[in-house]
Amino acid sequence: MFGFLKKKQTEIMLGSPVKGKSVPLTEVNDPTFSEGMLGQGVAVIPSEGKIYAPADGEIGMVFDTLHAVSMTVDCGAEILIHVGLDTVKMNGEGFVGYVQAGDTVKKGDLLLEVDLDKVKEAGYDIITPVLICNTDEYELVEGLSGKDVVPGEDVIRIQLQR
């Protein structure tokens, strides 16, 4: 009845998928991520290997090698969580998947587990980019970096088109 009194949502916050330290994408040692070719967001240097859903949504794809997962959250943002750099070359070694394409997840649901020591021993960087692949559909996508984070803590601010 008084719908005009409701404030229109203009901003969405996405949580960290992993415990660690959030850093700007520019610190990722791969131009595909650091130059924003796949979208804007943030990276997290993980301190533990459990990867959680950053928001409610649907799993789009779980890569066969389990090094990355994509999902579309309820607001329409298309998220890519990429665990480590060049970890596709590990062929799933050290990774365990808990979801598959089409699964509906809630913020905080466990998506993947990774043995961070095994990734490091194999010579790969564990930094984990979290990207909004459809960045151009939003007014602003801003990574909140420079802080220690726990899963679910805000790390990406999305400002909706006005």
Q: What percent of the chain has pLDDT over 70?
A: 95
Q: d(Cα 86, Cα 97) in Å, to the nearest integer?
A: 18
Q: d(Cα 162, Cα 148) in Å, to the nearest integer?
A: 32
Digit-coded pLDDT (tens) for 41-58: 999 999 999 999 999 999
Query: How much is the pTM?
Result: 0.93
| Mean pLDDT, all residues of the chain | 94
pLDDT above 90 (res 73): yes
Residue 115, pLDDT score: 98
Over residues 97-111, mean pLDDT: 98
Digit-coded pLDDT (tens) for 3-14: 554 556 789 999
Active site residue 82: yes
Q: d(Cα 32, Cα 111) in Å, to the nearest integer?
A: 23
Whether 62 contacts 72, CB under 8 Å: no
Catalytic: which of 23, 82, 85, 99?
A: 82
The end-to-end CA distance of the chain, in Å, is: 24
Residue 155, CA distances (Å) to 17, 66, 101 in order = 9, 23, 24
Residue 47, pLDDT score: 98
Residue 7, pLDDT score: 54
pLDDT above 50 (res 1): no
